[in-house]
Amino acid sequence: MTMNFKPYILRAPAICGGEAVVTGTRVTVRTILASLAEGMSDDEILADFPTLTRDGLRAVIAFAAVSAEEDLPLSATPALA
């Protein structure tokens, strides 16, 4: 079951040029995902972005997972002989 990220992710033209951010912050989804990709731990990210909550961080991961499902359809599974 995927976390309901919708209350935590906002996209508004007046905030960070319309990039997806964590609601109530100016922390972009892209920034958090880049930090995770660099190997930062949850605690390190939360320390770097004091306006970010643990639930907000989890919401970014859920948002990315759903986005990946929409953008990268799974290829057909080969039939077994």
- Per-domain residue ranges for the chain? 9-71
Q: Please write the tens of the pLDDT for every residue from 21-60.
A: 999 999 999 999 999 999 999 999 999 999 999 999 999 9
The domain made up of 9-71 is a member of CATH 3.30.70.260: no
Assign residue 27 a region: left if phi > 0, alpha if psi is -120 to 50, beta otherwise? beta
Q: Which of 1, 3, 29, 2 is nearest to 15 (CA)?
A: 29
Q: Do 3 and 59 contact (CB within 8 A), yes or no?
A: yes
Q: How confident is the model at residue 2 (pLDDT cuts 50, 70, 90)?
A: low
* CB contact set of 9 (below 8 Å; sequence gap of 6+): 20, 21, 22, 23, 29, 59, 60, 63
Q: What is the pTM of this model?
A: 0.79
